[in-house]
Structure 1
Amino acid sequence: MSAPALVTASRRQWSGAGRWWTPYVFIAPFVVLFAVFLVGPILIAIVNSLFSEQSSGLGFGGSEVLFVGLDNFARALADSDFVTSFGRVVLFGVVQVPIMLAISVVLALLFDSGLVAGSRFFQLTVFLPYAVPGVIAALLWGFLYQPSVSPIIQGLASIGIDVNLLAPGTVLWSIANVATWSTVGINMIILFSALQALPRELYEAAKLDGAGQIRIALGIKLPMIAPALLLTTVSSIIGTLQLFNEPQVLKSITANISSDYTPNMAIYAASTLGKDSHLSSAMAILLGLATLIISLIVLKATNRSSQKKATDG
């Protein structure tokens, strides 16, 4: 065998080419991290939710961990505040998600149309709030929500408009405002990237047929970026059910946000204030199941709608 052939053979042997285990070496880091940081915590939470820590004797001795089956799930579902928190975030999502996605779609279409001068600057401006951590964004908005220091509220009061953005009836929508501007940017980028990948020949053909920008946007662009719209919708729904940072921060400046205002806050309160990790594990599993079910319903409804349009077409 010649020297070049020996070198090639040695390189193949060193690289592992042709060996069955080579692909598994490359995917092993992902599998390990996936198992450690996702599958592992889920399994631990499931096991933990089936037990409960109870005091032995008259309460003066130690405590023991007993198997209680589904009792923690029953306790969680019997907690009216925890159940109410689900209804609160569902109402939040029904209003906030469509508004946020509508703003994201409009901005993405405007930037893609080329009608906006300095679009790069405005894209960065819209995306910038997403780069700000949610806790800091909530702190900044909390300053604008406090009547004693807010220039906005004081300016409105000077012209006879009295508003309280932290009142019981408005605090949920104040949280929605923070969440909206914190997530519009990333969704706009996803939709704009999908629009940029579309073939421009379709637009030219539509323009030759007399279609305007609005008709092109509604009839060509939006249907063709349906997968991106579905992605942003599902991710927004999941984010809504996991709402935590904004209400947790604003809780420090108003009494109208309780410690169990959202499901995630209720889980946090049960594990820290209540010091009951078993109950909080059951709550976390219920939240995960609710998120999964709602996501599947949205995906099913979207697929059915797509199939109906394809059949009608």
Structure 2
Amino acid sequence: MTPLTSARPRQRRADAQHAAGARRRTGRREARSAAVFIVPFGLLFAVFTLGPIVYAVFQSLFKVRRGDLFGTQQTTVFAGIDNFTTALRDGDFLSAVVRVLLLGLVQVPVMLGLALAVALLLDSRSARFRNGYRLVYFLPYALPGAVAAVMWSFLLFKPLSPFTEPLASLGIHTDFLSGPWQPFSIANMITWGWTGYNMLIIYSALQAIPGELTEAAVMDGCTGWRLALLIKVPLVKPALVLTTVFSIIGTSQLFTEPAVLNAARIPGANAKFSPLMNTTLTAAQGNQNLAAAESVLLALATLVLSFGFLKFTQRKAQTA
């Protein structure tokens, strides 16, 4: 074996070691660069998200025992699951959960159907002034929820509503903010405020569809609503799933609209319309431990509903 041939394996090993060292250095640089962005987010997430969750769970396991009539002698004792069982036996809390669940079963499909229809119209070949219409549809979401609720309360409150006289001339005497109609009015406020937001998500998914695919469908004679329903809608199902999950979470957090109606002293307004309103009232009455238990139960219910919907859609996609 010549000196030249014996040096080649050593050179290859040296090159391999040098390449491995370069990869390790590159990996460390990438890890440091990633940490620059991840660590601040992780700290904020731990302080403002995980911290309150852990504190709420901790508070829900205790209760305050008052030693005298005036509550001057108070001791905090371990309660276990007593607060949770009390919350589950609370008729007002359970009624609020059922009320919001029924409202969501009707309002969420209507809202997402409108958002999908508007997104399909904006994405159609015949659409004009798309940017202008997109801005108009999005503006209700940009308006603060409390301001929108006040505006709608003036529009729907019977003595002030501009719809009262026209409907009365037709023989229709309806108070949109009365007890039976109040959930529909609140659903209308939510739909008006969030349709544009969901429309933008769906519209962005429509814009990501390859143009060659729609052109091929048009060449095959699939146009108009057939193109929308048979080609576009199946391709934006991930966006529809995403908006549905967002809507489930948002509906479980319903607070602003019914709270504004209650603060405005609207006849028939319910101070415990939603679970979050009920929990806030419980905390305001001095029972923070029970309020923490109710908030934990509400969070678990939201998690089960949203995660269950995701698993259901995944299973349907696998079997399709």
Aligned residue type for 1:294:
L
Deviations 1:194-235 (A, max 9, x none): 101110101110111111121211111111111111000010
- Corresponding residue of 2:295: 284
Deviations 1:56-103 (A, max 9, x none): 245464211111111111111110110011110111001000000000
Instruction: Determine whether 1:130 maps to 2:115.
Output: no
Provide the secondary structure at the position in 1 that maps to 2:29: coil
- Corresponding residue of 1:148: 159
- Corresponding residue of 1:214: 225
Alpha-carbon offset, residue 16 of structure 1: 11
- Corresponding residue of 1:36: 47
- Corresponding residue of 2:277: 265
1:77-116 to 2 correspondence within 5 Å? 77-116=88-127
Aligned residues between the structures: 294
What is the Cα-based RMSD across aligned positions, in Å? Answer: 1.7
Pick aligned residue for 1:27 from 14, 23, 38: 38
Aligned residue type for 1:260:
K
- Corresponding residue of 1:197: 208
Instruction: Give the % identical residues.
Output: 44
Deviations 1:253-293 (A, max 9, x none): 32322221100000110111x11111100000000000000
- Corresponding residue of 2:79: 68
Deviations 1:126-168 (A, max 9, x none): 1100000110000000001111111112221133221110121
Contact 1:259–1:266 (CA under 8 A) maintained in structure 2: yes
Q: TM-score, normalised by structure 1?
A: 0.90
CA distance in structure 1 between the aligned counterparts of 2:71 and 2:92, rounded to whole angstroms: 31
| Structure 2 runs not aligned, ≥5 long | 1-25
| Structure 1 runs not aligned, ≥5 long | 1-14
Deviations 1:10-30 (A, max 9, x none): xxxxx9963854432331100
CA distance in structure 2 between the aligned counterparts of 1:299 and 1:256, rounded to whole angstroms: 37
CA distance in structure 1 between the aligned counterparts of 2:179 and 2:30, rounded to whole angstroms: 65
Pick aligned residue for 2:183 from 172, 185, 210: 172
Provide the secondary structure at the position in 2 that maps to 1:206: helix
Highest CA radius of gyration, 1 or 2? Answer: 2
Provide the secondary structure at the position in 1 that maps to 2:281: helix
Alpha-carbon offset, residue 116 of structure 1: 2.6
Alpha-carbon offset, residue 302 of structure 1: 0.5
Q: TM-score, normalised by structure 2?
A: 0.88
CA distance in structure 2 between the aligned counterparts of 1:199 and 1:124, rounded to whole angstroms: 24
- Corresponding residue of 1:3: none
